[in-house]
Amino acid sequence: MAGSALRRLMAEYKQLTLNPPEGIVAGPINEENFFDWECLIVGPDGTCFEGGVFPAKLTFPTDYPLSPPKMQFTCEMFHPNIYSDGRVCISILHAPGDDPLGYESSAERWSPVQSVEKILLSVISMLAEPNDESGANIDAAKMWRENRAEFDRIATRIVRKSLNIPL
């Protein structure tokens, strides 16, 4: 199984280098191990994360693409759909099939037709439009809903920190 996963990851990496989506850089940490990737995601224009450059890592299972990778930001993030340790919580990264809690449809969850590019584009979309109904970070979700000015202030500080601009 790992052989087909490796071939798939190599093909996706080639595609990302030939035709990189705007605001995304991603690839294996080293070419000896295609199952651990690093990414840089630029905060989307017109959002409180605009202009920030946020590093993250993707860890792929040996049965990829049958199972989804795990994604974790390696910098400080404050967002309703990002756990305090940086793990990303979005539907596309949830195991395929029915949601045991009944919140997500199986069509929203991982399927082998997804790709690294689709994951990263979904994360950019998530940064722009959080799902505050399914908060991985309850404090961020509550602040997003009830005190957007304070949320934006924290996001601006995180953007500045991501760029090594004095706070």
DSSP notation for 61-95: -TTTTSS--EEEESS---BTTB-TTSBB--GGGSP
Q: Which of 39, 48, 75, 89 is catalytic?
A: 89
CATH number at residue 97: 3.10.110.10
Q: Which distant-in-sequence residues (6+ apart) come within 8 Å of 108 by Cβ?
A: 91, 92
Whether residue 167 is contained in a domain is answered as no
Whether residue 131 is contained in a domain is answered as yes
What would the pLDDT profile of 37-77 be if each residue is shown by its tens digit? 999 999 999 999 999 999 999 999 999 999 999 999 999 99
The reported pLDDT for the residue numbered 133 is 81
Pull the structure tokens for residue 80. 């309703």
Whether residue 66 is contained in a domain is answered as yes
Taking 70 as the pLDDT cut, the residues of the chain under it are 1, 98, 100-102
Domain that holds residue 106: 2-162
Whether residue 26 is contained in a domain is answered as yes
State the Cα angle at 116 between 30 and 142, rounded to 5°: 110
The reported pLDDT for the residue numbered 28 is 97
89 classed as catalytic:
yes
Cross-strand partners of 33: 30
CA distance 95 to 110: 6
- Structural domains in the chain (count): 1
